[in-house]
């Protein structure tokens, strides 16, 4: 059973990671490169790493976790490595997508097995949609995807709230779907809303070097790419799990 879960997750993460990297190359990456022209008079080598949220909107949409790489680079620019533009950057981005895709596929396949539901492409897509809600939509309501040059709140505060929103969405959605009693379902809805009542940390002022039209385009493209990634990953995870059985 474990081997079946493991190998189906690896295959699903590999396929979904490669696929979404191609999608990113014609959707969000051009917007990022355009935004970098406003950020500092043109892109300098190393300004974005493979795990930057701009290059990973399908996986970490709005998440400040990957922003640590940019912070570390700005603090130690001479010691911070990042891939060159072109093929090297694309390869490392694809590798990052595959690694994280495998991790999320493990969650999806494990959820399918633990829930004791009939594993079909449809149920896989539903679990992928749940991942989209938990990891993209819920935290993105307070911390939308950010282009380089955007003004942001303090990093640790954003990290904490992002984790808070993800945990609330995961627990709340689980209670809404799997709880049998109405009061528990209501509790699940409340748990999902609490992080947004508290509110995400916001920058002291609004603005930045990037035009709002580009920032808005990036937010919209990131959410769409994320939805494509999660639906694809869910469908592939269920399909491969069935075939390996």
pTM across the whole model: 0.81
How many domains does the chain fold into?
1
Pick the closest to residue 197 from 223, 220, 168 (CA basis).
Answer: 168
pLDDT of residue 87: 79
Phi, psi of 150 (to 5 degrees): -75, 145
CB 17 within 8 A of CB 98: yes
pLDDT of residue 97: 92
Distance (Å, whole) CA 92 – CA 83: 7
pLDDT of residue 107: 95
Identify the DSSP state of 208: B
Structural domain boundaries enclosing 129: 2-244
pLDDT of residue 202: 86
Mean pLDDT, the chain cut into blocks of 10 residues (245 residues total): 89 95 89 74 41 43 42 46 69 90 95 89 95 94 83 86 95 93 94 95 76 84 94 96 86
pLDDT of residue 19: 96
């Amino acid at each position: 059973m474990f081997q079946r879960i493991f190998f189906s997750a690896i295959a699903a993460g590999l396929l979904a990671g490669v696929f979404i990297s191609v999608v990113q190359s014609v959707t969000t990456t051009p917007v990022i490169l355009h935004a970098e022209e406003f950020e500092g008079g043109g892109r300098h080598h190393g300004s974005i790493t493979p795990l930057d949220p701009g290059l990973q909107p399908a996986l970490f949409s709005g998440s400040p976790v990957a922003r640590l790489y940019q912070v570390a680079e700005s603090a130690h620019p001479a010691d911070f490595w990042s891939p060159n533009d072109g093929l090297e950057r694309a390869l490392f981005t694809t590798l990052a997508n595959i690694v994280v895709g495998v991790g999320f596929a493990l969650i999806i396949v494990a959820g399918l097995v633990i829930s004791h539901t009939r594993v079909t492409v449809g149920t896989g897509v539903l679990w992928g949609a749940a991942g989209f809600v938990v990891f993209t939509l819920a935290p993105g309501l307070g911390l939308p995807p950010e282009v380089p040059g955007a003004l942001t709140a303090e990093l640790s505060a954003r990290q904490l709230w992002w984790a808070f929103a993800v945990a609330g969405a995961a627990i709340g959605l689980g209670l809404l779907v799997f709880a049998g009693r109405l009061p528990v379902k209501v509790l699940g809805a409340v748990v999902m809303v609490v992080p947004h009542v508290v509110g995400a940390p916001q920058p002291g002022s609004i603005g930045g070097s990037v035009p709002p039209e580009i920032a808005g385009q990036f937010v919209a493209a990131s959410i769409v790419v994320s939805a494509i990634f999660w639906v694809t990953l869910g469908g592939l995870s269920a399909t491969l799990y069935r075939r390996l059985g």
